[in-house]
Chains A and B, each alone.
Chain A
């Protein structure tokens, strides 16, 4: 009953892509159904409650908490400026004065006669969401956000870092096997989405930040470089919040891995077009993969992000990519799908498939170790 293979990453020449753009809290939607929007247009905004700061007035005035209300100069709900005195006490006929001031601008939220603390809430913080892709508003979700739809090229990566980015496609690698080094990136890459080949080195990523490139796409990335780039060892694949100055999308996996030829050719053919890129990855229940969306009108062959999108089945003739040693990264075609379980070298009994590799040779491998290439190029 359970899929014994990994549904593939989508690489679609022309797809109808639908993206939901939602606020974290209810707010105001600034566009209406049918509006044409640009990627950087703000489509909805709201205000999050401000941060809070605590002031221990009892300590500052040197008195028991229950006496605090007597010496407060401001009441609950009052507006307060940064540095403004909120409580004052005079001692010894006014010779000495103790006072407590607010560390921030905001509003007095609570005055506690149990803990002696006063809580000041800072002004609300404005939060907005952009359209992310050039497209059309197809649905307004109450006062929380919108669905934006566009027709264009859609490519999923396997892993990424960094959030949403937007820029012109620029191919730097001349082949899918090329390694992207720092020397390949120059000032002409400013504001661009850079397309590399089999590997993006850490030095290349640093150079991309230096010149102001917005995103880098490559087949592989080394674990060691990930650690040095992030500054820590990433334990769980939940990314997207990094603010390192560039977004990275890896299409194949960790290590030096030539980008799948079809992916490379498709992205190369979009040279100079505007792309929306997101490195956010979450590999748990509710998988999120990084993505590249390049709006470009054409005949739609797949739908992405809406419920109509369906999942292809594994069958004889299906194109697959092997995603585990000893054939990691090899592409091929399914030649058989035996029903019976087969015994591996490890002695595990599993469901397998026969595969004929593009570079010659055939073998039988576990179904769990292939990924369907869901290419919508036909």
Chain B
């Protein structure tokens, strides 16, 4: 069927625990989400066939819509007004997703480029091998053997550059005689994307021992990355080797109109599509039970990182280990003396071993959301470290750069230019109050100046991502209208001052409130109600030394957008420092939570 004639779209995402199906239909000129259904993923025993879970999830959609979508034990794709779908597609992260090792000569150059290529393709990078990573050859070989990746991406050297280092990496991989995770009788796929002059040597070293694929160099010259061909090959091999080995996937692949995408790659695709269409700098985050994925587009450059051990159930103890208990407790509006540290540690461990439990009491919810703030913060630190400009390149400087010299390899993430921050994952999407999600995003990411906040309502970004590869307009329409829950704009001046001194003055004609002129003191937060779709042009006047991007004390006039939360004025300063004094910290948290009405009854309790 011509894509322009498609009216009914069925899409599934086979996650590691749940398979989610959505049905999109065209109404007039617009594509809209109709319903969603879900069922447990069935990759493991006793079913061992991913299509069972897909049919169960689609069956729920069928029940809810009354539209026949299954026939002969398969998804019904047929050109019919009244039954079936016009097109069906799917993403998958079942069975642990795509797990890769990457290798390059210099850790901060070709190895880092290889890491970006693999992450952008939706992989979990298990290890990064580099000639200068400090490990002895036998340690590298041991790592390759032990980790059993789905595939290896080998890069190294610019075209015409080093030969021996690249061949040495090839020899190490060959000596390890690696076996893939699935299908022990198959050879491990290795993608070579390094110095083109070394291809014959690599073919000689790895041609017989591995399933070798050669693509263009990911770093043909130091000044340029060429990640596309390697990412494309990773996707092909994901389908041919990883998916084809997983139970039931051969059948599923025969049902889909477009190749099955790894779930994170699909989320990256929709974020890129939105950033490109709207010309925005965007950050997207998906905080799950085991991992936290962050996607960003700054200056049109897409980056993705996965923090493989930062999550809120399976990996919750790792958040505790990395952040430390003190950094978690600092977000809890209770004096430390009231929190039994040993009991709290045991409580977090118990969430790890019983990951499906949910907070029943308010204190439990507050602690879980405190841990989420730290998981987001830590994952974002990792993201900023990898979403960087190319390192080791020569920079031309003019006299005007003399006072603002930047190093090579600086992070591309610029919170001042960030337009939109989108959160997804249970703790954000299912927070009992939307303002709780907004606070977690603000405290985790610390947006600066003016940033719009949103959450993914039911985590359908993966399905919209795979849809965006063939029908970007349909994907964007559903994303804008049904996927995003718009929380509202956040205004956060940069700088720090003295408590009680003025930080920001805002002047605007506010819907329902008339002319508004407010001055907010340093260390305070204010919520101004503004509904979904409502916009206000406001004059924002930061008081020196505060800055909204135009310089200290320089006013800006900008459009603020409302949402289910409203407009948040965050005058706690950037960088954000919580008071060190215990009484002052508890008092400050109490004021902020009360001002934004974050928890039920909380404000009343504290102020009573």
Contacts and interface: CB of A to CB of B under 8 A. Distances in A.
Interface of A: 1-3, 6, 25, 49, 51-54, 65, 109-110, 112, 114-117, 119, 121, 158-159, 222-224, 226, 233-237, 253-255, 281, 283-286, 307, 323-326, 328, 344-348, 350, 365-366, 368-369, 371
Contacts of A235: 309, 315, 317-318, 321-322
A223 B46 CA distance: 34
B546 to A, nearest CB: 35
Interface string B322-351: 100000000000000000001101111111
A115 to B, nearest CB: 4
14 contacts: A1-B40, A54-B175, A119-B171, A121-B175, A224-B345, A233-B317, A236-B309, A237-B353, A253-B353, A255-B343, A285-B95, A323-B350, A324-B358, A369-B357
B350 A345 contact: no
Of listed A54, A114, A117, A121, residue having the most chain B CB within 10 A: A114
Contacts of B469: none
B356 interface: yes
A52 B358 CA distance: 49
Nearest to A6: B356
B355 interface: yes
Interface stretch (B249-257, B361-369, B535-543): B361-369
Nearest to B310: A235
B432 A347 contact: yes
A275 B109 CA distance: 54
Nearest to B315: A236
B360 A344 contact: yes
B349 A52 contact: no
B101 interface: no
A1 B164 contact: no
B357 A6 contact: yes
A323 B362 contact: no
B77 interface: no
A272 to B, nearest CB: 31
B286 interface: no
Contact of A307 (B46, B171, B353, B430): B46
B600 A368 contact: no
Given A2-B18, A233-B321, A369-B360, 20 more contacts: A1-B38, A52-B137, A52-B138, A54-B137, A115-B168, A116-B164, A223-B342, A223-B345, A235-B309, A235-B318, A237-B353, A254-B345, A255-B346, A284-B314, A324-B364, A345-B360, A348-B359, A348-B432, A369-B358, A371-B354
Contact of B138 (A51, A237, A345): A51
A205 to B, nearest CB: 16
B350 A54 contact: no
Contacts of A114: 163-164, 167, 201
B96 interface: yes
A6 B318 CA distance: 22
A165 to B, nearest CB: 20
A346 B361 contact: yes
B410 interface: no
A159 B318 CA distance: 16
Nearest to A58: B164
B354 A117 contact: no
B153 interface: no
B346 A222 contact: yes
B577 interface: no
Nearest to B204: A114
Contacts of B164: 65, 114-116
Nearest to A327: B360
Contacts of B356: 6, 368
A223 B362 contact: no
Contacts of A233: 317, 320-321
Contacts of B349: 223, 226, 253-254
Interface in B465-490: none
B45 interface: yes
Contact of B171 (A112, A237, A325, A371): A112
B346 A2 contact: no
B374 to A, nearest CB: 13
Contacts of A253: 346, 349-350, 353-354
Interface string B170-200: 0110111100000010000000000000000
B361 A326 contact: yes
B309 A346 contact: no
Contacts of A117: 137, 168, 171
Contact of A365 (B96, B172, B360): B360
Contact of B342 (A110, A224, A307): A224
Contacts of B430: 348
B30 interface: no
Interface in B293-331: 309, 314-315, 317-318, 320-322
A6 B534 CA distance: 44
Determine which residue in B164, B165, B174 has the highest number of CB atoms from chain A within 10 A of its CB, and name it: B164
A222 B348 CA distance: 11
B357 A346 contact: no
B16 interface: yes
A254 B353 contact: yes
Interface in B138-167: 138, 141-142, 163-165, 167
B428 interface: no
Contacts of A350: 358
B314 A324 contact: no
B360 A234 contact: no
B384 interface: no
Given A223-B349, A236-B309, A2 B40 contact: yes
Given A1-B39, A6-B357, A236-B317, A346 B346 contact: no
Given A1-B38, A6-B357, A65-B164, A109 B175 contact: yes
Interface string B29-58: 000000001111101111000000000100
Nearest to B201: A114
B355 A283 contact: yes
